Amino acid sequence: MQHMDSPEEQEVFASGANDSEPVLELEDITMSFGSNEVLKGVTLKLRPGRVTALLGANGAGKSTLIKILSGVYADHGGLIRIGGLPVVMDTPLAAARQGIQTVHQRIDETIVPGLTVAENLVFEEIVRGEIPPVRSLKRLLPRAREIAATLDLGWPDATLTKDVFELGNADSQMLLLARALSQRPKVLVLDEPTSTLSTTEVERLFTLVRRLCSEGVAILYVTHRLSEVHEIADDLVVLRDGQVQSRQRAPFDMPEAVRSMLGESTLDEVSHLVEQRGTQVALHLERVQLLRRSEPIDVDLRYGEVTGIIGLIGAGKSELARGIFGADHWRQGTMSLDGEDYAPHHTADAVRRRIFLVPEDRTADAMLPGWSVAWTKSLPFLGTVSRSGILNFKRERASGDTLLSEFGVVSTGPDQVVDALSGGNQQKVVVGRWMQSGPRVLLLDEPFRGVDIGARGDIARRARNQAGEGACVVVFTSDVEEIREIADRIIVLVEGEIRLDSYTTEIDNDAIVTSMSEVN
Amino acid sequence: MPETPSALGMRARIQDAVVKYGFIAITVILFLYFSLTEPAFATSSSLFLLLKFASVTAILGLGVTFTMVVGGLDLSIGATAGLTVQLAAMTMVFYNLTGTTAVVIALIGGVVVGLMNAFLIVVAKIPDLLATLGMMFVIMGAKLIPVSGQSVSSGMVLRDGSVAPGSFTPEFLKIDRGFLGPVPLPVVIMLVLVVASWFFLSRTTWGRLMYAIGANPEAARLSGVRVGLYRGLAYVISGLFASIAGLILVSRIGQGDVNAGASSLLEAVAVALVGTSVLGLAKPNAWGTFLGALLIGIVLTGLTMKGFQYYHQDTAKGLVLIVALLFSFTISRRKVRYSPAT
């Protein structure tokens, strides 16, 4: 094991062992938004034929770094060298010209809807005017076939002429990758490329990454998943608080990487999890069919414990959560709450019974643009801050204040607009408004997404306290470390069916991961 | 990009002040200009006349404001007002019923249109603009059928050759021509509705829920808000307001003009949009809509007194709207949002 603590050591080591010259060098890159220093001097070298994994918690500065590499942010400090020569990349096009291609995480932001698959494949050429704007299929199909062939996508012309929206997530991801590769990049940046892929598709991607490496492409692989780092990376860089915390070469010391990613304090808290076991059933689900092709499941969710429901994307977690909350309806299945039939037609039915949901996508589904903290808090419970329908602003503001102080939200007061808060503080507001209203069942769907470490630990602790006070808390996530941090009981969901149901203390990570990756 | 307090310099503060008070300043300046150059302008009688003419636009604008608050737009509002004009006229002229009956039937008509819009939008899930556009055509066309395209006036010959038995009752005509003290009744009605709308939208839970739907319908739904109910309610209120405006209109013209109300849609949408700019609130609100109607009233009355012909009016209205939108979208640092005015 070769593990380095400081960048200097790494340099000594690298110059001794590495044969190839770096193709891309970042030197002391800094970036600030207003007074908020996001990158505090990042130095990074990418060498041809090597995969460098970039790990970091949310808010570590990963996405800012990626945007600098792809030419989105030009006003950064420090120096970028390509092949030893300093370059300025002030537009995405400039970055592409320097041989850097980035495949961004959000597919929907990079795919052009309404165009065919083929048109999306040759999009760069269309933009650059190399293929005429009147897009005759005859002229662009051969090029599209060529690009698709580089990845062995095996798409027939029928697929190429389809609307791009008919592709699944995985194929869209492959399309973007093919598009990036068609530009013959020297450096390829992959930003969480597997988040929407199935296991077999991930394998396909890895085979491809290895092939690119052998062809001499330098790859920066940004991910949250340690297993992937293990499998694919040659070098590992951990970013925290805008700085490189540690560098390693394979084989990696993963516990060390996690420690430097999260910081020591949070990991201590994890080990202090005191198990709570509930006995009384809150929700009883019977013959609930989550996905189109899944078998119905039965499950009991109990008061007094935190149930963690873990599964990959598409395992049916959100379907389960939204069905309990009455936001969507299952294909079949019934529920009972405290032994009585419970069939919510509307979210209002759930809220009235104090069954609350914190949705997965905070910005899209939980926040109201331009709304203050006090208003966001009171929205589901306007009855408590009004009399005969007339709002009492004073009481509303006071209620907002208790949320701010109890949850330690950093803000200017209850009138502060939620959009202006940091991700962690936003999440505290949308979680806190439910927690302060005496939940019977609290459903948290990916509660730690886009949340800094401090807020994450805080929300986890409070969720556990809620369960300790008797609530039925259910957390939905795809992150094994997260679930161990918060849940007393773990249920593994695979393709809409339950594969494992156990107390956290009776099971190790391997067993969880194994059952998560079991596919029929 | 987030701004730090230190970056919020003088310039930003001036910008905010311009957005907040600029539009009101323009209104005041125009008012003073017309008052000083046209002595007849600032007399109480001409001011009441101005308010009286602004009242129909203001009330329709309020209806539009409600639908904008829930993130939609009622394009059928002018047609609904026109339908009301004809319903009221037919009640009195064809069926020889009282003015009160005419009022009741007209209001019911407005609510029914609102319910139909609500059905199309909430249950049938047709996008707001398209549903109300469709309703606009249906209403405008359907009302012509029973009258064979003729305007309804007392003494007209009916299809069967007989003469229409009834006429507009004196009480009914008072809706537009009556006074409460020195104040014309339409002005009173307008002010009552402005205050009621303001109170409803910013001081009650129902108004707050409507703004929530306009801000983010999915987030509202996942907060337990009955989104469909309140969206529908907004369209019913819009239909009701349209029928009130229609009643004032028909009382003013004294006959069931088939073309009445047709032109008022654009004005109503314009004043509601102007309303999002005033006070820098950047969201639809009742007082803003009222001020918008007032400003357009001042401009039109002033220009008329200055000897401009009627055919200049639309240009003037359009320019007022564009200036207002410049305040909202160009100068303002806040994005236009649909959230409550308090």
The pLDDT tens digits for B45-85 are 889 999 999 999 999 999 999 999 999 999 999 999 999 99
State the residue range of the domain holding A124: 107-184
> Is the pLDDT confidence value at A2 over 50?
no
* Residue A349 sits in the same domain as residue A479: yes
Nearest to A365 among B7, B204, B222 (CB): B222
C-alpha dihedral (A361, A367, A373, A375), degrees to nearest 10: -140
Span B173-201, average pLDDT: 96
pLDDT tier at A264, thresholds 50, 70, 90: low
Contacts of B328 in chain A (CB under 8 A): none
The pLDDT tens digits for A77-110 are 899 999 889 998 888 888 888 899 988 877 767 7
* Residue A46 sits in the same domain as residue A173: no
Token couple for A373: 């903290």
Sheet strands side by side (includes A497-503): A355-358, A441-445, A472-477, A306-310, A489-494, A497-503
pLDDT tier at A113, thresholds 50, 70, 90: confident
pLDDT tier at A130, thresholds 50, 70, 90: confident
Among A71-80, A134-143, A412-421, whose mean pLDDT is lowest?
A134-143
> Is the pLDDT confidence value at B188 over 60?
yes
pLDDT at A442: 97
Please give the mean pLDDT across all residues of chain A.
Answer: 85
Q: What three-state secondary structure class fits B159?
A: coil
Handedness of CA B204, B210, B216, B217 (dihedral sign): positive
* Residue A282 sits in the same domain as residue A378: no
Instruction: Tell me whether residue A213 is in a domain.
Output: no
* Residue A238 sits in the same domain as residue A143: no
* Residue A65 sits in the same domain as residue A12: yes
Dist. CA B177–CA B186, nearest whole Å: 8
pLDDT tier at A231, thresholds 50, 70, 90: confident
Share of chain A above pLDDT 90, in %: 42
> Is the pLDDT confidence value at A55 over 90?
no
- Identify the top-confidence range among A107-116, A221-230, B221-230: B221-230
pLDDT at B317: 85
> Is the pLDDT confidence value at A292 over 90?
no
pLDDT tier at A13, thresholds 50, 70, 90: very low
Question: Is A230 or B85 the better-scoring residue by pLDDT?
Answer: B85
* Residue A157 sits in the same domain as residue A299: no
Dist. CA B258–CA B56, nearest whole Å: 17
Asked if the C-beta of B214 comes within 8 angstroms of chain A's C-beta atoms, the answer is no
* Residue A290 sits in the same domain as residue A379: no
* Residue A518 sits in the same domain as residue A409: no
* Residue A196 sits in the same domain as residue A244: yes
Among A221-225, A288-292, A325-329, A410-414, whose mean pLDDT is lowest?
A221-225
Span B109-133, average pLDDT: 96
> Is the pLDDT confidence value at A151 over 90?
no
* Residue A148 sits in the same domain as residue A297: no
Residues paired with residue B157 on neighbouring β-strands, in sequence order: B163
Distance from CA of B239 to the nearest CA of A (A): 23
* Residue A3 sits in the same domain as residue A91: yes
Span A116-134, average pLDDT: 78
Distance from CA of A415 to the nearest CA of B (A): 12
Span B92-100, average pLDDT: 94
Question: Is A34 or A193 the better-scoring residue by pLDDT?
Answer: A193
Residue to substitute from B3, B6, B199, B205, interface A, most A β-carbons within 10 A: B205
Token couple for A125: 């050429």
Contacts of B283 in chain A (CB under 8 A): 370
pLDDT at A262: 64
- CATH architecture under which domain B24-30+41-331 falls: Orthogonal Bundle (1.10)
Q: Contact A35/B218, CB-based, under 8 Å?
A: no
pLDDT at A464: 93
Q: Contact A359/B222, CB-based, under 8 Å?
A: yes
Instruction: Tell me whether residue A206 is in a domain.
Output: no
Instruction: Tell me whether residue A212 is in a domain.
Output: no
- Identify the top-confidence range among A229-243, B209-223, B249-263: B209-223
Query: 0.90 exceeded by the pTM?
Result: no
Number of domains chain A is built from: 4
A223: domain CATH number? Answer: 3.40.50.300
pLDDT tier at A485, thresholds 50, 70, 90: confident
Instruction: Tell me whether residue A478 is in a domain.
Output: yes
Q: Contact A391/B203, CB-based, under 8 Å?
A: yes
Q: Contact B212/A379, CB-based, under 8 Å?
A: yes
Dist. CA B199–CA B78, nearest whole Å: 24
Contacts of A383 in chain B (CB under 8 A): 205
Residue ending a domain, among A433, A455, A486, is A433
Token couple for A46: 């990418």
Q: What number of other Cβ atoms are within 10 A of residue A195's Cβ?
A: 17
Residues paired with residue A387 on neighbouring β-strands, in sequence order: A390
pLDDT at B135: 97
Share of chain B above pLDDT 70, in %: 94
> Is the pLDDT confidence value at B8 over 60?
no
A251: preceding bond cis by omega (within 30 degrees): yes
* Residue A493 sits in the same domain as residue A510: yes
pLDDT at A205: 85
How many CB pairs lie under 8 A apart between chains A and B? 91
pLDDT at A16: 38
Span B89-111, average pLDDT: 95
Q: Which chain A residues have any C-beta within 8 angstroms of a chain B C-beta?
A: 33-36, 325, 327, 346-348, 350-352, 357, 359, 364-371, 375, 379-380, 382-383, 386, 389-391, 393, 420
Closest chain B residue to the Cα of A364, Cα to Cα? B219
